[in-house]
Amino acid sequence: MIEVLSIASEVYPLVKTGGLADVAGALPKALAPLGVAMRTLLPGYPVVMSKLSDRTAVASFADLFGGAARLLAARVEGLDLLVIDAPHLYDRPGGPYAGPDGADWPDNWQRFAALSFVAYEIGRGLLPDYRPQILHAHDWQAGLVPAYVAFNAPTRVKTIQTVHNLAFQGRFGWEVFPELRLDYRAADEGAIEFYGGISFLKAGLQCADALTTVSPTYAQEIRTEAYGMGLQGLLQSRADVLHGITNGIDVHEWNPGDDAALPDHYSATTTMLRAGNKQAVAHEFGLDGTDGPLFAVVSRLTWQKGMDMLAHCIDDLVSRGGRLAVLGSGEIALENGFKAAAIRHPGKVGIVTKYDERLSHLVQGGADVMVIPSRFEPCGLTQLYGLRYGCVPLVSRVGGLADTVIDANEAAVEAGVATGIVFAPATQEALGEAIRRTFALYGREKVWRKMQRRGMKSDVSWEASAEKYADLYSNLIGQKRDDDQDD
């Protein structure tokens, strides 16, 4: 067995704000058959604590960044968890990163330094009966893990830093450095300095033994000025240890054949059964029941996701006989833009701004088109759910979207390999053109059904990608995987 501790600030089904949670929740299960035992360390936010029915305290800290704390071990829905119970850091209302007013917690540097510090302590033997060989850190919230390992008391544990989104860098002022419990050499050697302040993500990228990101195209893009967000130089210099491994999805959690959120279940050969689900989606979003393609969004409403571009295409989309269901929240101006469109086009455009896991499944199971016009997209999961559910993805050609959707150009349609509509560049004009192309394809019923079927048959499971992580772990520690056959 290879023992890996995954460190993440959100993990489905305990706490989720986006794709990171899905990945952190699915990966341990995908790795288990491959000879990798993955435990997961996460903060004890109230929603997490409330789900730990059977828990055991396995360690305690007299002072973890300003207060007493305990480390709890628990199993929840097949996940082997270590949870930091530190009320002074995590026991408060709101989300994992921000308060109820939407503003980031001012002590986030402490809250996530604590997460990383505990991981480091576990890596160097805090627990008598558990010593991981690898600490696998996700995003900036765990970015200090590799730095503690590199600069504090030496330990043999290996580290991996995974980037799910380079836009979130964990940047704080220098004044917090002395409080981080990180050896001063990290400052001297420039491992944490970033444009005059500090960046937790930069520290992880500089210090980890291996780096991964969530698709091969994004792994290339982030080495360029256009997508590198100031870190391209560092990423170029570490290109030899940077791997792009495409996310999968939990195909049991996301299965149109038995999804409890869907009134009607179906498979690749019975996509016409989606009609009842389409009606249910229309009902939930206040749309009327006319024909024509039902476009949908399930997303954070942000600039990254290109939602401003989509908002500008709505009038054209509706004039062509389309309808739009938007499930998402985020920037107030964008929410208001979609709300205004819903008022302008009653029965044609509907928006639900809550976070609703069930509704997100229903939309995938009933809408015709999943629209994802991202300006950048490290991987993206909603196009994978779309493929699995026959909700044809319409995506910009960036990052993981480019790696997972095959455009329905005539050659691909002819060859029967198309799985969606892909456009470039990520501009409003190109999106408008792609929407018009979607109407044309939707009008060719046989072509459309074939594209749905083809998408539903594409492999979006974790299987292939989990193998890649398992190989990476095994190479990093020079230990063969138990499940490897001698041949």
Interface with ligand ADP by CB under 6 A: which range of 15-23, 29-37, 133-141, 287-295?
A: 15-23
CB of 259 to ligand ADP, least distance (A): 13
Who's near 474: CB < 8 A, 6+ residues apart? 2, 480, 481, 484
By a kind-dependent CB cut-off of 5 to 8 A, residue 293 interacts, out of ligand ADP, ligand GLC, none, with none
> If contact means CB under 5 to 8 A according to the sort of partner, which of ligand ADP, ligand GLC, none does residue 298 touch?
ligand ADP
**Residue 356 found at the interface with ligand ADP (CB under 6 A):** yes
- Taking the complex as a whole, how short is the minimal distance between the CB of residue 446 and ligand ADP, in angstroms? 30
With contacts defined by CB under 6 A, name the span among 106-114, 272-280, 353-361, 441-449 that binds ligand ADP. Answer: 353-361
214 touches, from ligand GLC, ligand ADP, none (C-beta below 5 to 8 Å by class): ligand GLC
Identify what 300 binds: ligand GLC, ligand ADP, none; CB under 5 to 8 Å per kind: ligand ADP
Helix (H) or strand (E) holding 431: helix 428-443
Closest by CA to 191, choosing from 146, 254, 240, is: 146
- Closer by beta carbon to ligand ADP, 285 or else 448: 285
3-state DSSP call for residue 453? helix
Q: Map residues 372-411 to x or -, x wherever contact with ligand ADP holds by CB under 6 A.
A: -------xxxx-----------------------------
Computed on alpha carbons and rounded to an integer, the radius of gyration of the chain in Å comes to 23
Look up residue 71 and give its two tokens.
């480390």
| Cβ within 8 Å of residue 405, ≥6 positions away | 383, 387, 393, 395, 419, 420, 421, 422
Q: Which residues sit opposite 84 in a β-bridge?
A: 43, 71
- Is-contact 477 158, C-beta < 8 A? yes
Smaller CB separation from ligand GLC, 165 or 271: 165
- Hey, which residues between 19 and 78 contact ligand ADP (CB under 6 A)? 19, 22
- Contact status: 159 vs ligand ADP (CB under 6 A): no
Of 277 and 360, CB closest to ligand ADP: 360
Which partner in ligand ADP, ligand GLC, none is near 135 (CB below 5 to 8 A by kind)?
Answer: none
Which is closer to ligand ADP, CB of 123 or CB of 378?
378
Task: Provide the b/e sequence for 118-138 (b: ≥16 CB within 10 Å).
Answer: bbbbbbbebeeebbbbbbbbb
* Amino acid, single-letter form, for residue 398: V
User: Nearest distance from residue 391's CB to ligand ADP, in Å?
Assistant: 11
Angle of helix 357-366 relative to helix 382-389, nearest 10 degrees, comes to 50
The listed partner (ligand ADP, ligand GLC, none) that binds 7, CB under 5 to 8 Å by sort, is: none
In whole angstroms, how close is the CB of 304 to ligand GLC at the nearest point? 7
The distance in angstroms from the start CA to the end CA of the chain is 19
Among 42, 149, 211, 327, binds ligand ADP (CB under 6 A): 327
Q: Which residues contact 361 (CB under 8 A, 6 or more apart)?
A: 254, 259, 261, 262
CB atoms under 10 Å from CB of 380, counted, come to 31
Binding-site size for ligand ADP (CB under 6 A) equals 17
- 8 in Cβ contact with 99 (< 8 Å): no
Q: How far is the CB of 19 from ligand GLC (least distance, A)?
A: 3
Residue 193 bridge partners (DSSP): 198
- Residues 146, 312: Cα–Cα separation, whole Å: 43
Report the residue number, 381 or 435, with the smaller CB distance to ligand ADP: 381
Q: Tell me the CB-side half-sphere exposure of residue 483, using CA atoms within 13 A.
A: 11
Tokens encoding 77: 């829905």
DSSP 8-state symbol, 32: G
Are the C-beta atoms of residues 119 and 142 closer than 8 Å to each other? yes
For ligand GLC, the closer CB: 226 or 343: 226
Between 20 and 402, whose beta carbon lies closer to ligand GLC? Answer: 20
Tell me the H-state helices in 98-167.
108-123, 144-151
Minimum distance of ligand GLC from residue 328's CB (angstroms): 13
Nearer to ligand GLC, 61 or 140 (CB): 140
Any contact of residue 256 with ligand ADP (CB under 6 A)?
no
421-423: strand order across its sheet = 349-352, 323-330, 294-301, 369-372, 392-396, 421-423
Question: Under rule CB under 6 A, which residues in 269-298 are in contact with ligand ADP?
Answer: 298
| Residue with nearest beta carbon to ligand ADP | 19
Minimum CB separation of residue 442 from ligand GLC in Å reads: 26
Instruction: Show the site string, 293-322: x = touches ligand ADP by CB under 6 A, - = not.
Output: -----xxx----------------------
Chain residues binding ligand ADP by CB under 6 A are 18-19, 22, 298-300, 327-329, 355-357, 360, 379-382
